[in-house]
């Protein structure tokens, strides 16, 4: 017997994705399978038709779903209307984020954007003004907030276990597999990515803002290109005579070369697509054209009065990070080893490209969180085993928060808005300015929030 008064099924949120490189795979998979009961993928948009076709092929072969309509970048706003899009996921080159975010909000859509929200203060102000004007929701995908180890740090600080936070030390090491990858891609041009202070360190700057419930006030930094680039390669005898690795004899035994043909996913998304837009995913890390830094030291004073020393190295033999948070009543230390060494034979393979970090590194270490209160023995706090999970399990939790049914209260406040995106961006932008001028930078001079 049927119930004539049963409630109709809830309408699913209609999503479009713009920017169909490797980063988009995680979102396509979430919309096609894990969260298909509340959200649906209705359109794809990119400058490259081949890449869109690859994602459509995955929809049909892996998920048994029909292909969705595809649109060129010039037809982005037309797509929003034609496909009745409710929300847009932006995974394009960083410097174009603002174009799609602003256009989508002004067309009446909510937006989910990859970090960083954008690459400079002018674009950031444009996004903030459009959000205020339209009232649309903007989520910046800081998946590090959803990592259980990072959530535990926030819990411990909020509990008062270490008292008032006085200082933070954060050292991050990118190894010669993962770190080198930013020098093979469009990220190597600072105009595209804002450099590693913006594209990557924004993750950590957001974590510190969130952990200590404050935002940057004054930033001073020193940064340089020490390891990668043509001059350094020539000086150390690492230079090879090729521009992109595919088909280049000089790249055959280069541990810094990426061989796209060895990965079906990378081959389909990039090698088979480069004839359309000329983008080469396998550039030589020691070729001309690198304008970003690979070794950066930054000092930050926060509005709360706390300070941070931060160091990023992108050519390390191992990968991970050490965080020490000093408070009036103790100290909290987080140590994470993501990869204990790099094997030259596999150095050219992208780290988690297909699964956005979900591939477990062959030499993965682990995480340790230690609480050291004044006058007490240190205590190692229990952390869940998240080995093999994307970003320590953060990806799954973040996607559930974004695409799930909603209505679940989060006492940790992990969801991040345009203001969080701007505050994390400001540390990196101020550091970049300081690199150029050699002077401390008051962040309000860049963007007053």
pLDDT one-digit tens code per residue, 204-260: 999 999 999 999 999 999 999 999 999 999 999 999 999 999 999 999 999 999 999
CB 185 within 8 A of CB 269: no
pLDDT at 347: 79
Q: How does strand 295-302 pair with strand 307-316?
A: antiparallel
pLDDT at 213: 97
pLDDT at 212: 98
Q: Positive or negative, the Cα torsion across 329, 299, 227, 338?
A: positive
Whether 392 shows a pLDDT value over 90: the answer reads no
Mean pLDDT computed over 42-46? 98
pLDDT at 357: 44
pLDDT at 6: 54
pLDDT at 353: 46
Q: What percent of the chain has pLDDT over 70?
A: 92
Domain ranges of the chain: 13-141, 144-228+290-445, 230-277
Q: Positive or negative, the Cα torsion across 217, 222, 225, 227?
A: negative
The C-alpha atoms of residue 201 and residue 203 are separated, in whole angstroms, by: 5
Mean pLDDT lowest for which of 93-97, 365-369, 390-394, 412-416? Answer: 390-394
pLDDT at 11: 86
Q: How does strand 13-18 pair with strand 87-90?
A: parallel
pLDDT at 394: 79
* Tokens linked to 292: 């970003």
CB 293 within 8 A of CB 195: yes
The C-alpha atoms of residue 25 and residue 19 are separated, in whole angstroms, by: 10
pLDDT at 382: 95
Q: Positive or negative, the Cα torsion across 172, 174, 175, 178?
A: positive
Distant-in-sequence, close-in-space partners of 116: CB < 8 Å, separation ≥ 6: 94, 97, 194, 198, 199, 202, 421, 424, 425, 428
CB neighbours (10 Å) of residue 263? 18
Give the fold, CATH level 3, of 144-228+290-445.
Dihydrodipicolinate Reductase; domain 2 (3.30.360)
CB neighbours (10 Å) of residue 4? 5
pLDDT at 360: 47
CB 341 within 8 A of CB 316: no
CB 66 within 8 A of CB 58: no
Tens digits of per-residue pLDDT, 164-212? 999 999 999 999 999 999 999 999 999 999 999 999 999 999 999 999 9
Mean pLDDT computed over 355-384? 79
pLDDT at 355: 36
Long-range contacts of 154-157 (CB under 8 A, 24+ apart): 154/210, 154/211, 154/412, 155/412, 156/332, 156/369, 156/371, 156/381, 157/211, 157/212, 157/325, 157/327, 157/332
Total-model pTM: 0.94
HSE-up (13 A, CA, CB side) for residue 16: 29
At the fourth CATH level, the homologous superfamily of domain 13-141 is NAD(P)-binding Rossmann-like Domain (3.40.50.720)
Mean pLDDT lowest for which of 161-165, 409-413, 417-421? Answer: 409-413
CB 170 within 8 A of CB 212: no
pLDDT at 388: 52
Q: What percent of the chain has pLDDT over 90?
A: 87
Q: Residue 349 — pLDDT band, cuts 50, 70, 90?
A: confident
């Amino acid at each position: 017997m049927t119930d004539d008064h049963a409630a109709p099924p809830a309408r699913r949120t209609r999503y479009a994705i713009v920017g169909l490189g490797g980063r988009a795979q995680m979102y396509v998979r979430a919309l096609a399978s894990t969260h298909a009961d509340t959200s649906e993928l209705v359109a794809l948009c990119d400058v490259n038709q081949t890449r869109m076709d690859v994602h459509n092929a995955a929809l049909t072969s892996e998920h048994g779903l029909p292909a969705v309509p595809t649109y060129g970048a010039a037809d982005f706003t037309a797509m929003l209307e034609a496909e009745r899009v409710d929300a847009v996921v932006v995974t394009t080159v960083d410097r174009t984020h603002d174009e799609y975010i602003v256009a989508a909000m002004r067309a009446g859509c909510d937006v989910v954007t990859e970090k960083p929200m954008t690459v400079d203060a002018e674009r950031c102000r444009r996004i903030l003004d459009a959000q205020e004007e339209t009232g649309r929701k903007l989520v910046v995908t800081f998946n590090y907030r959803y990592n259980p180890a990072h959530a535990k740090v926030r819990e411990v600080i909020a509990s008062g276990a270490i008292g008032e936070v006085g200082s933070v030390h954060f050292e991050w090491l990118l190894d010669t597999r993962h770190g080198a990858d930013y020098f093979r891609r469009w990220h190597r041009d600072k105009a595209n990515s804002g450099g590693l202070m913006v594209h990557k360190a924004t993750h950590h700057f957001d974590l510190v803002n969130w952990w200590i419930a404050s935002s940057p006030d004054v930033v001073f930094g020193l940064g340089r290109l020490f390891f990668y680039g043509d001059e350094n390669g020539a000086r150390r005898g690492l230079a090879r005579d090729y521009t992109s690795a595919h088909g280049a004899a000089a790249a055959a035994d280069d541990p810094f070369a990426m061989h796209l043909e060895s990965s079906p996913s990378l081959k389909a998304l990039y090698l088979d697509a480069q004839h359309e837009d000329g983008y080469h995913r396998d550039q030589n890390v020691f070729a001309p054209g690198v304008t970003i830094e690979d070794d950066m030291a930054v000092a930050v004073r926060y509005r709360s009065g706390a300070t941070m020393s931060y160091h990023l190295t992108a050519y390390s033999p191992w990968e991970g990070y050490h965080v020490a948070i000093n408070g009036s009543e103790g100290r909290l230390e987080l140590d994470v080893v993501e990869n204990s060494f790099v094997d030259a034979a596999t150095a050219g393979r992208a780290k988690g490209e297909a699964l956005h970090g979900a591939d477990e590194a062959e030499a993965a270490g682990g995480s340790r969180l230690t609480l050291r209160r004044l006058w007490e023995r240190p205590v190692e706090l229990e952390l869940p085993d998240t080995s093999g999970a994307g970003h320590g399990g953060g990806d799954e939790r973040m996607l559930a928060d974004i695409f799930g049914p909603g209505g679940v209260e989060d006492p940790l406040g992990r969801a991040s808005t345009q203001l969080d995106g701007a505050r994390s961006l400001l540390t990196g932008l101020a550091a970049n300015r300081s690199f150029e001028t050699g002077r401390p930078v008051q962040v309000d001079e860049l963007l007053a929030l």
